[in-house]
């Protein structure tokens, strides 16, 4: 399958003007109100479109075991009410005025994170999951502005175009959704290290995130063995590298013992 790689920005992320931050949309969602509690129907607020934002009508959201871990607060203190969902597929319903990667009607997906600093070495090398400032997770996270993030157990989401992936026409949105975490978690180490290697085991961006909450982050180092991630993507890009789960060689070996938590 092919994905559109998030474009690597070379400048600081644009910040919404004050008028845009005040314009929001309320959409239905399923939320865990407290740790371990049954899900309830509720609503969440989505920001109005910024210049590079994409509004997505969510068609599917995979249920990842990471969602269960976090809804039960098994990975440390969570943000509640919590709307999980980081295997999101759907259709672009609207785009901001300067969006270039996606058009209304495009079939798209969103994975584990929805923003990063775009300036650190990791971000500039297409390894945004290792952002030295800390990537903004799709849910149970906070935007750099401090606002909570809510995931795909909802009907719509607004995401910067750089963190929205293109889903090929031949791939159903239902089967594409779980590829955005569970699928990429297994594909990424195979792509990076190749089959037969015993030097790594699958993990996920969520697991990295969870681990990083209790340990100091090891400075990211450029990947040395895998093929290069394509340069900043164009909308017509036909191939890309996974962007969510590669494990840098400098990570402490104890981290590689973590089992997949997808
Ligand atoms: Zn960064
Ligand atoms: Zn997951």
CATH of the domain at 127: 3.90.180.10
Long-range pairs, 63-67, Cβ under 8 A, ≥24? 63/87, 64/178, 64/181, 64/182, 64/206, 64/262, 65/261, 65/262, 66/181, 66/204, 66/206, 66/207, 66/261, 66/262, 67/151
Residues, beta carbon < 5 Å, ion ligand 1 = 116-117, 120, 123, 131
Residue 70: name the closest of 58, 60, 80, 57 by CA. Answer: 80
Task: Please state, in angstroms and rounded to a whole number, the distance separating the CA atoms of residues 167 and 254.
Answer: 35
Instruction: Provide the 10 A C-beta neighbour count for residue 189.
Output: 24
Cα 36 to averaged position of ligand 1 atoms, centre (Å):
32
Residue 94 lies in a domain: yes
**Low-confidence stretches of the chain (pLDDT beneath 50):** 1-22, 200-202, 210, 213-218, 223-262
Predicted local confidence at residue 196, as pLDDT = 76
Range of the domain at 208: 23-225+236-246
Q: Which bound ligand lies closest to the C-alpha atom of 151?
A: 2
Residue 158 lies in a domain: yes
Task: Please state, in angstroms and rounded to a whole number, the distance separating the CA atoms of residues 124 and 144.
Answer: 18
Q: Which bound ligand lies closest to the C-alpha atom of 13?
A: 1
Task: Please state, in angstroms and rounded to a whole number, the distance separating the CA atoms of residues 155 and 56.
Answer: 8
Cα 176 to averaged position of ligand 2 atoms, centre (Å):
13
- Number of structural domains (the chain) is 1
Residue 4 lies in a domain: no
191: left (phi over 0), alpha (psi -120 to 50) or beta: alpha
Residue 198 lies in a domain: yes
Residue 25: name the closest of 177, 173, 161, 150 by CA. Answer: 150
Task: Give the length of the chain.
Answer: 262
Q: What share of the chain is helix, strand, coil (3-state, %, to 5)?
A: 20, 20, 55
Cα 118 to averaged position of ligand 1 atoms, centre (Å):
5
Q: Which bound ligand lies closest to the C-alpha atom of 65?
A: 2
Residue 230 lies in a domain: no
Residue 1 lies in a domain: no
Cα 109 to averaged position of ligand 1 atoms, centre (Å):
21
Cα 220 to averaged position of ligand 1 atoms, centre (Å):
10
Sign of the dihedral through C-alpha 126, 191, 2, 67: negative
Cα 241 to averaged position of ligand 1 atoms, centre (Å):
18
Instruction: Provide the 10 A C-beta neighbour count for residue 72.
Output: 14
Cα 112 to averaged position of ligand 2 atoms, centre (Å):
7
Cα 33 to averaged position of ligand 1 atoms, centre (Å):
31
Residue 256 lies in a domain: no
Residue 204 lies in a domain: yes
């Amino acid at each position: 399958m092919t994905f559109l790689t998030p474009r690597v920005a070379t400048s600081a992320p644009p910040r919404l003007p004050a008028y845009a931050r005040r314009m929001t949309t309320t959409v239905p969602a399923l939320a865990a109100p407290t740790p371990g509690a049954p899900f309830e129907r509720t609503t969440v607020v989505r920001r109005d479109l910024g210049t590079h934002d994409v509004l997505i009508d969510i068609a599917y959201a995979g249920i990842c075991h990471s969602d269960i871990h976090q809804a039960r607060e098994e990975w440390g203190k969570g943000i509640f009410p919590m709307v999980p969902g980081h295997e999101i597929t759907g259709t672009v319903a609207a785009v901001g005025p300067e969006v270039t990667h996606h058009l209304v009607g495009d079939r798209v997906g969103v994975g584990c994170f929805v923003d990063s600093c775009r300036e650190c070495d990791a971000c500039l090398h297409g390894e945004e999951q290792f952002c030295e400032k800390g990537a903004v997770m799709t849910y149970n996270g906070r935007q750099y502005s401090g606002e909570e993030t809510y995931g795909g157990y909802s009907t719509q989401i607004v995401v910067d175009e750089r963190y929205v992936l293109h889903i090929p026409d031949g791939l159903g949105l239902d089967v594409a959704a779980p590829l955005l975490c569970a699928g990429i978690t297994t594909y990424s180490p195979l792509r990076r290290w190749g089959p037969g290697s015993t030097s790594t085991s699958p993990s996920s961006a969520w697991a990295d995130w969870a681990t990083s909450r209790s340990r100091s982050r090891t400075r990211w180092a450029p990947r040395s063995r895998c093929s290069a991630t394509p340069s900043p993507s164009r909308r017509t890009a036909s191939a890309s590298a996974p962007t969510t789960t590669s494990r840098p060689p400098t990570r402490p070996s104890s981290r590689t013992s973590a089992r997949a938590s997808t």
